[in-house]
Structure 1
Amino acid sequence: MENFLQIIFRTLILYILIHIIFRVMGKREIGELSILDLVVFIMIGELAVVAIERPNVRIFDAILPMVILMLIQISMAFFSLKSKKFRDLVDGKPSIIINRGKVDEDAMRKQRYNFDDLLTQLREKNIRSIGDVEFAILESSGSLSVIEKLKTNNETKSGDITIPLILDGTIDEENLRKINKTNLWLRQELKKQGYRDIKKISFCSYENGKFFVDLMDEQ
């Protein structure tokens, strides 16, 4: 009986603790979890199961590694917010699989992604044909974001996709190359609009010939 009550007590304590840990770590949908998030969540769950199944193990010995994992994840999230390079290293970068209606087979090979995967995920989004897709982006979480071609008066039109050119005060040279632009071109265009200090720009994108610029919050 005593052992049974101990299991109930441990289950309640660990349930409350896990709930608190996940709230502190932030709200994210399952499909949006990075590999790091997923590993941390699985490890925390396993530690909780071990603590419940083994009453002879002190509950503090189970709680301590769970709290340490929480602190590691929060620290990694903090560094990810501060550094795009670190964020790309930990979470990976999205890949454009379909670019302006054309499948990028090189990008697919780099991600070890095949046409069966592509067609499956398109069907899940009720898209019948690759020809209806303007852009398809394989996100770092593994989900596929799809932008269909614009249709007006039974005509199909092409559009642009929002591609970040500046993130956290750092110019993304790779994205500049994707739109056939240079670092010098970007700086000159931003100067024309009154933005002289790149370091003060939190986010900048270029779409359909127009810039969207968001400045960093001044502390």
Structure 2
Amino acid sequence: MFTVLFRTIILYLLVVVSMRLMGKKQIGEMEPFELAIAIMISELASLPMQDTRISITHGVIPIITLLTLQSLLALFQLKSEKMRLLFSGKPSILIDKGKLDLKKLKDEKFNINNLMEELRMQGYYNLSDIEYAILETSGRLSVIPKTELEPVTKMDLKIKPAQESLPITLVLDGKVNFKNLIIANKDESWLNQMMKKNSVSSIKDILVAMLDSKGKFYCQLREKNK
């Protein structure tokens, strides 16, 4: 029993580290060769977990080999355009200047119903509204609408808003994050002033306090204090 537990923990940690080293990508955003390696790694890890007669090294060595292979392929793709085309392919334009490219749809095994579904999910209901639709190498569809249908931006309206920044958490679950206070160029004295301004008697009463993306102080108390 302990042998199985020990093997499972080791293989689980190895798979997690492998997936982490492969990069921060969702399954739907993986390139074909990345998805193939991810599936193979999961299969290789499951076999030694289920069958104790199989040496754990028979799972560890292939996983490390595949991880090394993936890292090398990723490096080659960074260095070579030909390698990128060979392993990842290139994007396909399914709608070009407002017209469907039936040949590209057929080549990509992408029927019109699939295309309409993808367009609806992105908020477009008519083919006549689309200038370009590009099937990316990850399998996701990028849509460029006709110019007159593009959303109006603040620049179009000649509005010059202040640039927003990332929110900074100052207090979480009753504990002050002193590192974030320094990043925000604030100190405990300022925090105490903001607490008084918001009628908060103790740090421990705060569920979360932060500077939002506009630089404003936001505070929420624990449920019991509401």
TM-aligned CA distance change 1:148 to 1:6, over 3 Å: same
Q: How many residue pairs were aligned?
A: 151
Q: Secondary structure at the residue paired with 1:96?
A: strand
Aligned partners of 1:51, 1:9: CA distance in 2, in Å?
Answer: 11
Per-residue CA deviations over 1:72-130 (Å, capped at 9, x if unaligned) read: 11111111111111111111110111122121222222223221121121122221111
Aligned partners of 1:45, 1:103: CA distance in 2, in Å?
Answer: 39
CA drift of 1:135 comes to 1.2
2:180 pairs with 1:151: no
Match of 1:80 among 70, 77, 80: 77
2:42 pairs with 1:49: no
Residue 117 (structure 1) aligns with: 114
Q: Secondary structure at the residue paired with 1:140?
A: coil
CA drift of 1:13 comes to 0.8
Normalising by structure 1, report the TM-score.
0.65
Per-residue CA deviations over 1:175-205 (Å, capped at 9, x if unaligned) read: xxxxxxxxxxxxxxxxxxxxxxxxxxxxxxx
Normalising by structure 2, report the TM-score.
0.63
CA drift of 1:153 comes to 11
Q: Secondary structure at the residue paired with 1:141?
A: coil
- Give 1:1-219 correspondences, 5 Å limit: 4-151=1-148
Aligned partners of 2:124, 2:90: CA distance in 1, in Å?
Answer: 24
Moved over 6 A (4+): none
Residue 214 (structure 1) aligns with: none
TM-aligned CA distance change 1:16 to 1:152, over 3 Å: closer
Residue ranges of structure 2 left out of the alignment (5+ in a row): 152-226
Residue 205 (structure 2) aligns with: none
Q: Secondary structure at the residue paired with 2:124?
A: coil
CA drift of 1:21 comes to 1.2
TM-aligned CA distance change 1:97 to 1:64, over 3 Å: same
Point out the structure with the larger strand share. 1
Aligned partners of 2:125, 2:68: CA distance in 1, in Å?
Answer: 45
Aligned partners of 2:26, 2:84: CA distance in 1, in Å?
Answer: 18
Aligned partners of 1:119, 1:31: CA distance in 2, in Å?
Answer: 19
Percent identity for Structure 1 against Structure 2 = 39
Q: Is the 8 A contact 2:129 2:149 kept in 1?
A: no
Which amino acid in 2 is paired with 1:133? I
CA drift of 1:40 comes to 0.4
Which amino acid in 2 is paired with 1:43? M
Per-residue CA deviations over 1:25-58 (Å, capped at 9, x if unaligned) read: 2221222111111110000000111010011222
